[in-house]
Amino acid sequence: MHLFSQCWTALRTAVAELPDASFGQPSGCTGWLVRDLVCHLVIDAQDVLITLVTPADTEPTRNAVTYWNVAERPAIDDPLGKLIVRLANAYEEPWLLKFHLDDLGSAAGRAAEMCDPALAVRTRDEVLTAGDYLSAYVLEWTLHHLDLIAYLPDVADPPAQGLVESRRMLEIIAGSAIPESFSDKDALLIGTGRRRPTEQESAHLGSLAAKLPVILE
């Protein structure tokens, strides 16, 4: 629960401190500008709020790791992705996006701190404990923090503990550990296809290179 709050606060703070010009820069999400990514974070905050007040009366069907589905390729042109781009354009001014993210994001953060981690909640037609659901979002926040700063080198990295935990989850999903010679940040970028490995990195990955990237949805 603490790590969820730490990663979410760091990401929201990074967005709040962005100059207006940064919203028109590309992000690490293929086809999305920073403003599109921030709009997606608004939707994520809504999802957290909805899920935490949607209790389930059945046993969990997923945990923090199995929450994630692995796709064959990135869904660049899916309907939700297109909708987010249109929504982001409708905001017109960056301060409106910042305000909406702060408003919903703060509420989502408070809801996470107040909830019972053992509570069973329902989302995406699956059931998880609230604790596992919020742990899954540590990976979401960390990857999107990396997306946010992909072309903004002056913005701070995600929290170190979030990088460590996200790498751990990604390695379980991939079914193999990424060599220790890779930093946590590089392991996540390469492991999820956000950056192509160099020839030297590919050599260090060995047979694991054939299993990467892992596309999460």
What whole-number distance in Å separates Cα of residue 134 and Cα of residue 113?
Answer: 10
For 28-38, letters b (16+ CB in 10 Å) and e give bbeebbbbbbb
User: pLDDT per residue over 73-87, tens digit each?
Assistant: 666 667 777 889 999
Which regions in the chain score pLDDT beneath 70? 73-77
pTM assigned to the model: 0.96
**In terms of CATH architecture, what is 2-216?**
Up-down Bundle (1.20)
The pLDDT of residue 80 is 77
Cα dist from 146 to 95, 166, 187, whole Å: 21, 12, 12
Q: What is the pLDDT of residues 31-76, one digit of tens each?
A: 999 999 999 999 999 999 999 999 999 999 999 999 999 887 666 6
Running DSSP on this structure, what letter comes out for residue 33? Answer: B
